[in-house]
Structure 1
Amino acid sequence: MEIKAAVREVTGKRPVRRLRKQGFIPGVVYGPDVEPINIVLEANQFKKLVGKISESVPIKLVLEREGKTEVFDVFMKKVQIDKVTDEILHIDFYKPAAGRTMKINIPVKIVGKAIGVEKGGILEVMRNEIPVETLPTAVLEYIEVDVSNLDVGDSLHVGDLKLPEGMKTLLSKDEVVVTVLSPAGEEEETSVSQAAPTEPEVIKKGKKEEEEEEE
């Protein structure tokens, strides 16, 4: 995934509002080994990609700065959205330090059809995402959870997950990720809860909140 951006020279509420009216989105790049960089990117470019990006999707941010092109390996951490118009107001990109572990939430992807569901049980996903600590180069877009062998009353726990070497979960190994519930006398049905991709933190702001915030 590649996103193009440029250094944002202007700051403050009014100049940033003008940028948005001109079709741009302000943002920032930050991390443990980089000073915060104010950036701007084209709204049309970003809107085409936003549905494909989750917090665990690695992004190559191509930045034009002082006549040179720099490439940053980043993750999208926060998106601020106007709660009235749904306009994207601001984006935070996080650049992890090379060779050092980072903490990140990775979405769960359910695969297979549980035996218990075939019998009328209900598959319930208890954890849509798994917080882990890992090297930036080892981040997964999702953690696959195969539920094919789960019968009614069975569960899969964090300790059952197959994680790559060097990646450790920040949850207890006994925590339930997915379970098959009994229909409990209800009409027999098949219901599979699919986990949505983990999205970067989304903050919806009203006009007053936006005006009070420093860009």
Structure 2
Amino acid sequence: MAATIQAKDRSDLRRSQTRRLRKDGYIPAVVYGKGKEPVTVAVEGVELIKNVRDEGRNAVFSLDIEGKNQLNVMLYDYQSDQIKDELIHADFYQVDMSTEVDVEVDINFEGEAQGVKDGGVKQQTLHTIHVRSTPNNIPDEIKIDISELTIGDSITVGDLTSGNGYEFLDEPDTTVITILPPQSADVPEEGEEGGDEEAEPEVINEKSEDEE
């Protein structure tokens, strides 16, 4: 069952009303939907943050608009005040539970790679992956077991197995993680500075003989 977020109708778009809402702990928000007119609402900032933390960024919420009907929505975007560390605006997207959506899902690794135990270096090049799914089938995260990886091994998107009800959209050859060889600084031995003759340094703005 989708978590519920309470919302107020926000038909009065005057700045004075918006300031009053923020003073009362609410933030202005807009609900968009394919082929639907945008709906302006206000939601409690603290409640929204709590629900997103508990349910996840890609969760489907039941937006209960006071005096109106409930809408199935996902948090599409938000704006925050970095100085005050608080939300100032949110955008919701009204979803059809039977229609697929494209979202980003976090990648998390399980286990410790054998290659890292042997001195290799883990290099993660992809932290999120694009997924297409109906709203109810969006995974909370993509878990990847890396315990069998040795030095030189890598995992690409094509190596991952899509779950029931969702598929990956990134290119199959996109690298997710690689176990690199140990990092070591190559210090030249004495007498091996790089050649028999020492190259002369380039002189910037040196005058030619003709100019002299």
Q: TM-score range by the shorter chain?
A: 0.7 to 0.9
Provide the residue aligned with 1:94 in structure 2: 93
Deviation at 1:127, TM superposition (A): 1.0
**Higher normalized contact order (CA 8 Å, seq sep 6+, divided by chain length):** 1
Aligned pairs for 1:100-139 within 5 A: 100-139=99-138
Deviation at 1:26, TM superposition (A): 1.2
Provide the residue aligned with 1:204 in structure 2: none
CA–CA distance in 1 between the matches of 2:30 and 2:4? 16
Match for 2:42: what amino acid? V
CA–CA distance in 2 between the matches of 1:172 and 1:44? 38
CA–CA distance in 2 between the matches of 1:144 and 1:45? 29
Deviation at 1:170, TM superposition (A): 1.9
Where does the alignment leave 5 or more consecutive residues of structure 1 unmatched? Answer: 187-215
* Higher Rg: 2
Provide the residue aligned with 2:210 in structure 1: none
TM-score relative to the length of structure 2: 0.77
Question: Alignment length, in residue pairs?
Answer: 183
CA RMSD, Structure 1 to Structure 2 (Å): 2.0
Deviation at 1:58, TM superposition (A): 2.6
CA–CA distance in 2 between the matches of 1:17 and 1:123? 48
TM-score relative to the length of structure 1: 0.76
CA–CA distance in 1 between the matches of 2:110 and 2:59? 20
Determine if the alignment matches structure 1 residue 75 to structure 2 residue 77: no
Provide the residue aligned with 1:174 in structure 2: 173
Structure 1 residues 169, 50: CA separation in 2 closer, same or farther (over 3 Å shift)? closer
Deviation at 1:108, TM superposition (A): 0.9
Where does the alignment leave 5 or more consecutive residues of structure 2 unmatched? Answer: 186-212
Give yes or no for contact 1:55–1:105 (8 Å, CA) kept in 2: no
Give yes or no for contact 1:116–1:180 (8 Å, CA) kept in 2: yes
Q: Deviations over 1:53-92 (max 9, x none)?
A: 54322323222234xxx33222111111123222211011
Match for 1:29: what amino acid? V
